[in-house]
Structure 1
Amino acid sequence: MIWMSWRQFRLQALVGALVLGALAAYLVVTGLDIRDAHDGYLAQCRATGDCAAALGRLVGDHRTRLLLLAGVLGLVPVLIGMFWGAPLIARELEAGTHRLAWNQSVTRRRWLAVRLATVVLAAMLVAAVASALLSWAAAPVDTIAGDRFGTVNFGARALSPIGQAAFATVLGAVTGLLMRRTLPAMAVSGLLVLVTLFAVPNAVRPHLMPARHETRPMTAETIDAAHGLGTLGSAPVLKGIEVPGAWVTSVSDLLTADGRPLDPGVFDDCLMRAPKTGATGTFGDSSPCLAAHDLHLDIAYQPNGRFWTFQFLETALYLLLTALVSALALWRIRYTSR
């Protein structure tokens, strides 16, 4: 049974191996380039004594390429779900070849379990290799940038891609089992995996562990350090607030000394009609105007030191979902007509 499953899967496995080989070669070259650049910048900065600026340029030089690579690897579970998972059962049901196996001594559940196990293990292996290579290639930049919890970066590093690949495979297989048509199952499974990969980092990941909290007084200098001030509706918010060495999960509106949100009218006055003070910061006269109201922010964040804990928790979540969806498939196969 295992040998038969492998023979039926070997073409997809060969294509996957070729793609993985090409990706691995590119990641090795990228990693070596980054390390050469890192050594070069260190040599320069030791002469000038300004290593922070030099290493900052290293991050700027390679950030975009690494972000694109992380985005590409983030689509690997989608492709696995579409091209490995969805056809796994749907193609058999559509062509009627499942009847041959079901008329032998092999039970339906054993047939399905072996098929799933074969492809799931292959998917996890591909994801593990790709993730390990990207993590190695990006290590010098990740260490300097400290952006370990970035939405795209986190999902393409370390352990999480392995859980994503396993879940995408069984989700695609169950979609094919229920729809019994290969092409519609591929489209639907790809969409479902995309929705899951969007929902987990935005709706689930911030709550895997209780966040730490910080109250930050809003001085003019602190306001000018933000990335944005207000919204289209003139809501009293600061955008792009950062905590060094941490992932900021939520930031409150601007709050007054008694903990109430700042009146939008007061905020709009400071934004549009601030008294002239000659301030030269990012937001000009608006910053000292707001600072004069004794404001603060409540910030929730996760320290970078929790990176591996979050990786384990998120991977465990994906594996739990994999087990639940697999159980659904094993239950449903009993009632699938021949």
Structure 2
Amino acid sequence: MKISVIVPVYNVAPYLAICLNSLLPALAPGDELLLVQGASTDKSKEISLHYKAEHTQVMVLEQNGTGLSNARNCGLQAATGDYVLFIDSDDFVETGTLSQLLSSIRKNGTSVDVWMTDYYKHFEANETDQLVEQIGSQHVSQVQELAKILPSHQCFWNVWKNVYRRSFLLENMLLFTENTYAEDIDFMTRLYLAGPKIRTAPLPFYYYRIGRSGSLMNEVPLKRVQDTVSVLENSIQRLRYSGFAWIGPVVAGFQFEYLLNLALLCEVSTPHQREAQKAYRDYRKILRPTTDFAVMACTAAMYLIGVKGMSRLLWFAKYMKRKKEHRTI
């Protein structure tokens, strides 16, 4: 069985070698590591070509567009493996754990569409790690059982912590929506609705780097707010209209994320804050009905203090959380 690892590469010269050195020892000789190149202005491409020269599994590809989603799509369309992973090039993996996971996948054949795992947060400021345990030792084998493992107030839609059967993605036209933020939420919503056969594995292998200088996640343009709100609204409505009995916890999780993103309104430049607030004009329709008490409470508070007041309150909570974690404010 062949594994394809897709790594978009764009201005990550300080981190790329760390990422690739953690990945390569976990791969078998017949696997492939696709480094999909954006228009980097640093040494990222040179580093990629060096690894290609040194390792037979490494392929270097050029994007046919721009952005993370386009890079992932280019990699997916070029991949030839039975299973694929999407790894961000400023993150890294635990080599031994990933090797164990891939060994389990190879032993089980291609009957599973999505293997799901937990992951670690890696805090750049103080080089510490935190396990985000959502699955633990729970066993889930079908999408209808997602309610057993979806945490109420944690993101569960990160694409990079899962391993996917490539043919399942292609058969269901599960490419990434390009030129938008929150692409992982959109992708995972469509994946859930496609009804994959899933399996959970107690093998957290991924280290998600938080707080790196120059990361897109440290910048808050107006488009990020508008896109994120739009993707969440569309995902919530699509799930509601699907009629599936299991969608309640997924919708509640997206509703909570919708609320958390209110904090971004305070991080948009002053001339654009009014436009950012308009993105939430339909919040009553999106937040009701809900099965989550915290969402109910926050919705009630928004009626009293408004979108702007709620955004300030959540921004302060976010500030205090980052300060506690010794993260970049």
Query: TM bucket by the smaller chain?
Result: under 0.3
TM-score (norm 2): 0.25
Larger strand fraction of residues: 2
TM-score (norm 1): 0.24
Larger helix fraction of residues: 1
Structure showing greater Rg: 1
